[in-house]
Structure 1
Amino acid sequence: MPYFSLAFWPLIFVLGLCLGSFLNVVITRLPVMLMRQWRQEARAQLALPDEPTPRFNIAQPRSMCPNCETTLRWHDNLPLIGWLKRRGRCAHCDARISAQYPLIELAGGVVAISLVVLYGMSWQALWLYGACLTLLALAVIDWRVQLLPDVLTLPLLWAGLLYQWLFQPAYLTDAVIGAAVGYISLWCFYWLFKLATGKEGMGYGDFKLLAALGAWLGWLSLPLVLLFSAGLGALLGILYQASSPQARGTPMPFGPFLALAGWIMLLAGDDVLALYLNIVS
């Protein structure tokens, strides 16, 4: 199909919206699924009887209003259109529906078009799209519940190494070093901070996420990833606490800023890295 036909770009955008809609399901349900699993494991360790719970996974139950739990009708569940049609409110109880849903769907469509522009209709673009969606899911989950699930970070790491082996075998060594350096660098920072302050500055999920970014980007990109994420995190943290004094002392997750920096480097990393090397050389 010609890239610039009238039907091509809308089709790519709609497919991206649909995958963004699925990503919303993962973002909202995966933490609940993990919490239920950990609760069951804890009860088993304590020799407590099983706790009967209704089936809950990515597929079941059907999408519903988070307030009144009314099942959504098919036309209210259409990506982007359903939210806009109801003006961000539930058709049954009129409660507000978070803007997260259309924003994630829109991001899925925009990133899909961006990667086709950069890489064409290729397997490479598909792999990178999967990485971008995974980073987006990790960022939103960490922002909401301060959790970076292994079920997302570890496959992202191995997918990065496999991506290099398939598409850029000359960079595989850099990717392996990047994964190791990414994990070890934040692990060292964690323990230095804990020894100096007695507090935990971040979680182990951040180590694994930076290791995954090292696998996708190589070790040379890690200083830029840390610079972007730390700078943006510090700036938003200062602005947030200045606008909400009652929030002072509240920990902020680092994962969303790592994921955003990873996004930038995945989509424009060659240009950014070349500019960085020219500046420091």
Structure 2
Amino acid sequence: MSEMLNSTQFVPFTAAVVLIFGLLTGSFVNVCIYRIPQSKSIVFPPSSCTKCSHRIKWYENIPVLSWLFLRGKCSGCGEKISMIYPLVEMANGFLYLAAFIRFSVSIDMFFTFYFISAMIVIAVIDFKTQYVYSAVVLPVAVLGVLRAFFSPSISLTASFLGIIAGAGLLLTAIAVFYLVTKKIGMGLGDVYILGAIGSYTGLKMIPLVLFLASFSAILFFFVAKMVFKKKRLAENITKEDINSGNEKDLDNAIYFGPFLAGSGVLLLLIPPYLLENCLFLIN
């Protein structure tokens, strides 16, 4: 009886530790998101304000809470601090918690932690810069294969086939689209992302990742387009102006990488019995 009591007390404590660890790691994820596109070291120097170079003190760097206490502004110059920072920290923290709930304390949980943080870095950088850095994506694939050596959840063969299927499927789609339209409809960065996701999910999940990513991308694009039109019309721009090409900026801003990354994380965290039902419906 006492062992059961200790066990029930241990789970909330571990969950709290995982959540805090995820929030703290989320702060480092923000550093990666900001510095990698600028080819800066993600370790040195310590974080500082991008405008006044005010060195951020430890109590100004507490995930989420510091942003709230500072009211989203630098304590040195009052420069606005983007809401992306606390959102990334919260996303990383709660996704770590979801990984703990899904895998408990196991080798899968720790490998999934890395996968989650890497996918957040990839998604946000791609969304902001429209560029996918192979230095971030390729280690995901390597660790996905390494995970297969230690985890009962996926075999080494399934991991390799996931990489081949993920990358190969998108490469084929890009080639066919180019032959038909003479345009490049998707970047190679998306190929790398889906290949890396495949190393974790295996071959069977690739169609579901693509389906979910495509559905969410279309939904996002549709909503964003409606919001864009309302905004432009509110500025007294005619529908004809909007439809004749002024939406070009919006079209160029929609990229597939963030949706692939988000779908990969979601499917890795969904329990197996739900995944089997989803695959059955798609097939």
Smaller-chain TM-score bracket:
0.7 to 0.9
Report the alpha carbon displacement of residue 174 of structure 1 after superposing the two structures with TM: 2.1
1:135 maps to which of 119, 138, 145: 119
Provide closer, same or farther for how the CA distance between residues 169 and 238 of structure 1 changes in structure 2, counting only shifts above 3 A: closer
CA offsets, 1:19-53, max 9 Å, x none? Answer: 111111111101110xxxxxxxxxxxxxxxxxxxx
Match of 1:107 in 2: 91
Report the alpha carbon displacement of residue 122 of structure 1 after superposing the two structures with TM: 1.9
Report the alpha carbon displacement of residue 241 of structure 1 after superposing the two structures with TM: 2.0
Aligned equivalents of 1:124, 1:260: Cα separation in 2: 18
Aligned equivalents of 2:168, 2:190: Cα separation in 1: 11
- The answer (yes or no) to whether the contact 2:158–2:203 under 8 Å persists in 1 is yes
Provide closer, same or farther for how the CA distance between residues 118 and 169 of structure 1 changes in structure 2, counting only shifts above 3 A: closer
Match of 1:4 in 2: 9
Aligned equivalents of 1:13, 1:273: Cα separation in 2: 25
Report the alpha carbon displacement of residue 280 of structure 1 after superposing the two structures with TM: 5.2
Identity %: 29
Which structure 2 segments of 5+ residues have no match?
1-5, 230-246
Check if 1:32 corresponds to 2:16: no
The code of the aligned residue for 2:149 comes to: W
Which residues in structure 2 correspond to 1:76-225 (within 5 Å)?
76-168=60-152, 171-225=155-209
Most deviating of 106-115 and 149-158? 106-115
Root-mean-square deviation over aligned CA pairs: 2.0
Report the alpha carbon displacement of residue 279 of structure 1 after superposing the two structures with TM: 2.7
Match of 2:21 in 1: 15
Aligned pair count reads 259
Match of 2:270 in 1: 268
Match of 2:239 in 1: none
Report the alpha carbon displacement of residue 168 of structure 1 after superposing the two structures with TM: 2.8
Aligned equivalents of 2:42, 2:212: Cα separation in 1: 33
Aligned equivalents of 1:78, 1:3: Cα separation in 2: 29
Aligned equivalents of 1:275, 1:164: Cα separation in 2: 24
Report the alpha carbon displacement of residue 243 of structure 1 after superposing the two structures with TM: 1.4
Most deviating of 127-136 and 5-14? 5-14
The code of the aligned residue for 2:189 comes to: G
Provide closer, same or farther for how the CA distance between residues 190 and 269 of structure 1 changes in structure 2, counting only shifts above 3 A: farther
